[in-house]
Each structure stands twice: as structure tokens, then as C-alpha cells.
Chains A and B, each alone.
Chain A
Amino acid sequence: MSLQFLLTKFLRGAMTLLLAVTFVFIVLRASGDPAQMMLSDEASPESIAAFRARWGLDGSLVEQYVTYLSAIVQGDFGDSFRDGRPALQVVVERIPVTLQLGITALLATLLLGIPAGILAALHRGKWIDHAAMSFTIFGQSVPNFFLGIILILIFSMTLRWLPSSGTGSFWHLLMPALTLATATAATVARFTRSSMLDVLHQPFMRTAKAKGIPHDRRVLRHALPNAAIPVVTVVGMRIGGLIGGAVTIETVFAWPGVGMLLVNSVNQRDLAVVQSVVLLIALTMVVVNLTVDLAYGWLDPRIELHNKKATA
């Protein structure tokens, strides 16, 4: 992996982050006086004055931008006006709960999507294929909050098998994670299938068969790694969808994570917390995209070469 490749990707990520910070800055300034927006209505004149001094609100826009940027870089995202604690801290506390949901959903996505896609490709045109593809159409069209409510109605209200909300056990995690995973798993299955179909018809697969390599080994060791790249891309792309989906799913299942915090903070206009969540999500997305790009370079060295040619 060349240094230039890494550097280009890294700069791109940094650029996206800067854009995100700038976006929040512009929105905050365009929407009114930040001192009135960020502090509660009952804020004393002293605390408003202190706020103005701290964020350099009496300087020019450029000065304000620089002050804002340096504060963000130092991890100062302002204070939540609900409990006066640093907004970043309020958000960070919620991260483990959200990660628990997100990672379970990601695992479910991979464990459902990839095998479904492989099976559909291997049995192309048979009932397995049709069942898997019907599932993907369903999964891609059903709104996640509707699916969540239907599941609650069936498994919590009618059958009384699973808890409808809250955290604590595996059983609490099951419905939110599966609901969140459905749409992503559907997309992953679809891409895995088409990618596998492409690879299965490559000449090297025939060669492998001619060499007498057993079927399972051919599929898992020869076809799958070659089919992996589009799948990695789509998994990377869908992580944004998982994060966005987590916001609604956490609200549906009263899962006390970052998503629910965001919705509540938007409702109460706790803007310091809102901006912290947005910037943290931007950071997450940048890290995810970087990881996907690095995974490419590792899965298929040709991509890096191709990139080099394109930039040269």
C-alpha cells in the first residue's frame, strides 16, 4: 500500500470532516443568534455574556469560524443546557449502547446477507434464489419503523415472547437488531448474489473444477474472495444507512442510545448535543470510508494501481 494512496484517502476524510464542521457552523450562524439558540431561555445576562466571549461572537465571521474550529478540534462542543454538562460527554456516554445495537445489526447483516446471496447465486433460478430475492425486495421496501412496530405487535403484544423496549438482555437486543439489519441484509444479499454470479462464470472457476477441487472449496476459497470487493463496498456504503436507521429504530424500541438522544435533543432544541452527535457521526463515517478504502487495497492490489493511474 503506497504512501500516496493512504495520503489521498486521508486528506479526503479530513476534507469531509472540515466540510461537516463548516456545515454545522453555517447552519448555527444562519439560524439566529447562537447565544440565544444554544442557551436556555432562562439564561442570565452574565452567562450569555460569558458565552459570547467564549465563542468570540463579537468578532468577525472569520474570527468566529476560527474560534469555533479550534474549540471543536480541542473537543469542546459546548454544554448541554439540560444538565449543564459538556455536550460531548453526554453523547459519549450513550455510545456503548448504540454500538451494541449497531454491531449486532452489522453481524446480522453479514450472517444473513452473504450466505443468502451465495446460496441464491449457486442455485440460480431455483426456489432458494426466488425466496432470497423476494426477501431482498421486501427488505428494501419496508420502512424500518413500520417493520419494528409490526414485530412489536406480533412478538411483544400478541405472543408476549419478547420485550418491546429497553435494554438489558439478549432478548431486548434481538428485535431492534434484526429490524435494523433487514434493509442492509437485503442489499448485501443482492450484491453478493450478482457478484458471485459474475465470478462463478469466470474461466478460472472452470479451471478449478477441471483440477478436481471439491465444490465447497471452490466456492469458499476461489469464488468468494474474488466476489468480495463489491460486497465490501456495499457493506461500507450501508453503514451510513445503519446509523441513520438506528435513529428511528432506537426511538421505536426505546433503546437509550445516541439515536434516541439525537431525537430528544432535536425536540428540546438542545443544540450543543445535536451538533456533537452530527460531528461524531461525520467522524464515524469518515473512519468507515477510510477502512473500506484500505480494505480494497488489501483485497485487490489492482485498485490501488488503478487509482494511481487515475491521479497521475
Chain B
Amino acid sequence: MSSLDLSPVAGQLRRHSWLTRIWKARPPVVIGLCLGWLALVVIAALFAEFLAPFGFAEQSLLTRLKPPALMGGPAQSLFGTDDLGRDVFSRVIYAMRTSILIAIMATVIGATVGTALGIVAAHFRGWVDDVIMMLVDFQASIPFLIVALAVLAFFGNNFLLLIVLIGLFGWDGYARIARGLVLSTNGQGYAFAIRTLGVHPAKVYIRHVLPNMLGVIMVQITLNFPEIILLETSLSFLGLGVQPPGTSLGLMLGEGRNYLTTAWWMGIPAGAVIFLTTLAISLVGDWLRDMLDPNLGNKDL
């Protein structure tokens, strides 16, 4: 944003207040905290059975709806217990595993399908391109939660369908990006040079074009991942995603909703984990975008 220096506003920018200075010092600290939190989430998801003091379905009807340990509850239940006497802390850890696992698998599906279709569209052009782009427009024009609800209504709920369905959310973004990148690389010398050597197009895309797209696709993943978590948790919250006895962060919040007056700790920790995780990924994503492309001028967005 060098052109800014010419403008009258630039003079004001140089007068940093102390608040501005704190703000300027913000990224490393906050990003560090975010990365730390995300590491915790991943560790919790990977090692749930070692970290959780109790099993996620372990009931104890004698200690139902007990408050968190620091609020007068039993010492072994950090976040209290739910309506079936299950340990909320343990369930949050297992729920992190489910939600993160679904989000990762769905992201892999969306990124793969979307990128592949984008490359296909750009390679063949013509009617193939038209059809794929029409599907992209269609996907972008209807709220996906509604589509997902409709499909779940018709097919009934099962875990595999849920993952595939959530995976299809966001493919249009990857397709659009991949298509644009392929179109621009196809116009560049190196792709043309390799092709004139007689290399198969598929090999050109996999060996030469795809590696060049990875950075942008990574950024798209940081944008898409929080939305995928929100989609899964929304569906589970509505009781239409992950089904009991399984557990997901959204499902826990949904179940806890009925006990807000008597036992708010049933759902709130799960909700807080969703919020902190999406917040952390968004902030890290913003920061990553600045790192990857300092010229983007993302600070103004």
C-alpha cells in the first residue's frame, strides 16, 4: 500500500497511540495463543482416550447434573456432569475428536473434489466448463445448511452420508480457485513448454500445476475449515448431525440447551470450544494470508 503515503491520511497514521502500539504488537502474541489452542485441540482429538478421565458414555446416575469442580461439584469432574451423570470434561474431549475428524475428512473431500473439477473445467473449457461453473453458481446461490437438511430428511441420517454431505460444502470455492489458476498457468510459458515436450496433460497438472496452487488452496482451507466446523456443529445442534450415543460439540450444546436454567455447564463448555477453535483458525488464517502474500493488502479488509 505504498500509494497510501501520498494521501493526507498517511500523516495521521504515523502518530501511534499506546493502544495502536499494543495493536501493532498483537499478531505474534495472539497468533501464538491461537496456535497453542489449536495444538491443544489436535492433541485432545488424537489422544482422547488417554486424556479423558472417564469414557464418553460412562454413566453414573447417582452423580447427575453435578456442577463443575470449582463450583462445589465433585473433585473428579472438572466441568461437572450431565443429565446421565456423564463427565462433561471427558465428553468435550471426545466431542472434539468427532468434530475435528469430521471437519478434516470433509475438508479433504471438498478440496479434492473442488480442485479436480476446477482443473477439469479449465482443461476442457467449452460445455464441460459451462456445466461445472453452473453447478458452482448453483451451490453458491442456495444456503448449504438447507440443502444438507433436505438430503438428511430424504435419506435418513448416517455417519458416512453426513461426512460426504459436509464434504460437499465449499467445493465450489476450491473449484473456482483451481479453475482460475489453471487458466492463468496454461497461458504461461512453462506449462506450454512442458506440454510441447509431449508430457501427458494429467502429469502436467499433477507434477507442475498443482504444486504451484498449494499455497492458495491452503489459504482457502483456512477460510473453509471454520465454516465446515460450524456446519457440522449446527447440524448436530439441531439434532440432525452426529447421533447419540456418539458425541459432537454441537450435539453437546444442543443437549445442554434444555438444562440451561439448572445445569448450564452441560452445553456451554462445548460451545466455547467451538467458538475458540473457529476464532483461532480464522485469526491464524488471516495471519497466514498476510505471510503468504504481503502485497495483498489484507489489512484493509
C-alpha spacing A206/B9, complex, angstroms:
11
What string of 1s and 0s marks CB contacts (under 8 Å) between B223-261 and chain A? Answer: 000100010011001111000000000100110010011
- A175 sits at the interface (CB 8 A): no
What string of 1s and 0s marks CB contacts (under 8 Å) between A234-275 and chain B? Answer: 000000110110011001100000000011011101010011
Could you say which of A23, A140, A153, A191 contacts B282, with CB atoms under 8 Å apart? A140
- A137 sits at the interface (CB 8 A): yes
- A285 sits at the interface (CB 8 A): yes
Could you say which of A12, A194, A244 contacts B300, with CB atoms under 8 Å apart? A194
Q: A19-B134, A247-B146 are in contact. Are A125 and B20 (CB under 8 A)?
A: yes
Q: Which residues of the partner chain A approach B283 to less than 8 Å between Cβ atoms?
A: 137
- B7 sits at the interface (CB 8 A): yes
- B141 sits at the interface (CB 8 A): yes
Q: Contact: A243 with B143, CB < 8 Å? A: yes
Q: A149-B257, A201-B7 are in contact. Are A289 and B154 (CB under 8 A)?
A: no
Q: Contact: B143 with A16, CB < 8 Å? A: no
- A152 sits at the interface (CB 8 A): yes
SS class, residues of chain A in contact with chain B: helix
Q: Which residues of the partner chain A approach B301 to less than 8 Å between Cβ atoms?
A: 190-191, 194
C-alpha spacing A194/B237, complex, angstroms:
34
* Chain A nearest CB, measured from B99 CB (Å): 11
Q: Contact: B149 with A263, CB < 8 Å? A: yes
What string of 1s and 0s marks CB contacts (under 8 Å) between B133-151 and chain A? Answer: 0110110011111110111
* Chain B nearest CB, measured from A254 CB (Å): 11
C-alpha spacing A233/B248, complex, angstroms:
35
Could you say which of B4, B141, B233 contacts A143, with CB atoms under 8 Å apart? B233
Could you say which of A37, A130, A157, A281 contacts B143, with CB atoms under 8 Å apart? A281
Interface range on chain B (Cβ under 8 Å from partner): 35 or more
Could you say which of B13, B147, B240, B274 contacts A263, with CB atoms under 8 Å apart? B240
Interface centre among B16, B144, B146, B153 (most CB of A within 10 A): B153
Q: Contact: B146 with A127, CB < 8 Å? A: no
- B278 sits at the interface (CB 8 A): yes
C-alpha spacing A42/B283, complex, angstroms:
53
Q: Contact: B282 with A24, CB < 8 Å? A: no
CB interface residues, B 242-293, toward A, < 8 Å: 250, 253-254, 257, 260-261, 264, 267-268, 271-272, 274-275, 278-279, 282-283
Chain A interface residues toward B at CB < 8 A: 12, 15-16, 19-20, 23-24, 27-28, 30-31, 37, 124-127, 130, 137-138, 140-143, 145-146, 149-150, 152-153, 157, 190-191, 193-194, 197-198, 200-201, 206, 209, 240-241, 243-244, 247-248, 251-252, 262-263, 265-267, 269, 271, 274-275, 277-278, 281-282, 285-286, 289
- Contacts A27-B151, A27-B155 known; 15 new A-B pairs at CB < 8 A: A23-B147, A27-B154, A125-B20, A127-B19, A140-B282, A143-B274, A149-B268, A157-B260, A157-B264, A197-B300, A243-B143, A267-B239, A267-B240, A274-B149, A277-B146
Chain B interface residues toward A at CB < 8 A: 3-4, 7-9, 12-13, 16-17, 19-20, 23, 134-135, 137-138, 141-147, 149-156, 226, 230, 233-234, 237-240, 250, 253-254, 257, 260-261, 264, 267-268, 271-272, 274-275, 278-279, 282-283, 300-301
Listed A/B pairs (10) with beta-carbon separation below 8 Å: A19-B138, A141-B226, A143-B233, A153-B268, A157-B264, A191-B301, A248-B237, A271-B154, A278-B150, A281-B146
